[in-house]
Amino acid sequence: MILSQTEAFVKKELAGAEGGHDWWHIYRVWQLAKHIAAQEDVNMLVVELGALLHDIADAKFHGGDESVGPAKARRFMESIHVPAGVVQHVTDIIEHISFKGGHQAGKFYSPELGVVQDADRLDALGAIGIARTFNYGGFKNRAIYDPGISPDLQMTKEQYKHSTAPTINHFYEKLLLLKDRMNTATGRKLAEERHLFMEQFLERFYKEWDGLS
């Protein structure tokens, strides 16, 4: 009952959302999280709620306010009488799941966070990751690529949040870094394959950009 209520809530809240952060993103992360969790010693209710609610109010669509998502998730879980310990754990997952430039020291970790974070990161890799990246770049009206603007791997959290760099730069500033930041053995295995696909895509992209293929 808790999960079906949560699924319905998320579908309603994300109706009309940007295509890379809509219900189908949540669905894929949910399925990936269940797959990864099957190999881990974790609380499945926490994992599934964390996956379903992790992007209920992504900060990038709320003026950068990182408190909106955790607060909305907490209110919802309390409204359907989820046990208090589970509510707190899921809220902690939502607060700490994001990449945020990759230079932030984690203040919270649990095996459940590791599973949900891997699932979320996997959806940023491979064919789906490529599609999501260009969809968001178009949503923000960003250039596809500009050879004169190099990726910046030393951005602060605030610089990362407000970057307007071309979409291709995002591969180097985030996506290609994710493979080595997976938490679980299953996540690492899946990430290897998706990472390779992105490298092959970029090789092809540059050839076509210069008219060589």
pLDDT of residue 63: 59
- Residue ranges per structural domain of the chain: 2-209
pLDDT of residue 162: 73
Residues present in the chain in total? 213
SS3 state of residue 24: helix
pLDDT of residue 154: 84
Q: What angle do CA 167, 13, 134 make, to 5 degrees?
A: 10
The predicted-structure confidence for 38-50, as pLDDT tens digits, reads as follows 999 999 999 999 9
Q: Which of 47-61, 115-129, 159-173 has the highest mean pLDDT?
A: 115-129
Is the domain defined by 2-209 classed in CATH 3.20.20.210?
A: no
pTM above 0.95, yes or no: no
Q: Which residues contact 89 (CB under 8 A, 6 or more apart)?
A: 43, 46, 50, 110, 112
Confidence band, pLDDT 50/70/90 cuts, at residue 148: very high
With contact defined as beta carbons under 8 Å apart, do 95 and 108 qualify?
Answer: yes
Task: State mean pLDDT over 112-135.
Answer: 97
Round to whole Å and give the CA distance between 130 and 35: 22
